[in-house]
Amino acid sequence: MTNVLYAIKELLRSHDLQLDDIKCFSISFYDGMEEVKVLCYHYEEPKYKTISLPTYEGKKPAMYDEYREAMFEDIAKYSEIEGFGTVWLNNGDWLWRDQPHVEEVYPDGWRYGTVPVIPKKLILDKQGNPSKSGIERNFIEDELNEDYNNMSDYYEDNPQW
């Protein structure tokens, strides 16, 4: 099992990039099981802890660099747990790793590709509020319903995007 932060650094390095080239990210880690009750049915399903780094329109607020470093430290704390998610890069590309399915087997490694649409919830204005303008919604973003977990599946099934 590879440390998530190490795996991301190695993939970036293989493309002549570094952590400073990360624009924003949303990475989730397995955080135990939780009981789900639906009517008379009871079952358990995995729950996840998500660590996100938003991006900002225009000038970034004071203390952004410190916050960013804290998010990387949070990811490093999960060194024994495999993670999945999406990392958007400043150059218009992205990294992703699929969420495990029911069998709880993680797909092999992080992958590198052309950037998907950044969900509006990750674009904040100067005050740290969700941006009013953000990235224009389009039919792809609507189809994905701003759910990054579905992005990797969508782009795998539709490589022309």
Tens digits of per-residue pLDDT, 6-55? 889 999 999 999 999 999 999 999 888 899 998 888 888 888 899 999 98
- H-helix segments, 29-116: 64-77
Point out which residues pair with 94 in neighbouring strands.
88, 113
Measure the CA–CA gap between 33 and 37, rounded to whole angstroms: 13
Nearest to 51 by CA among 19, 25, 77, 88: 25
Q: What is the pTM of this model?
A: 0.66
Domain range summary for the chain, segments of one domain joined by +: 4-157
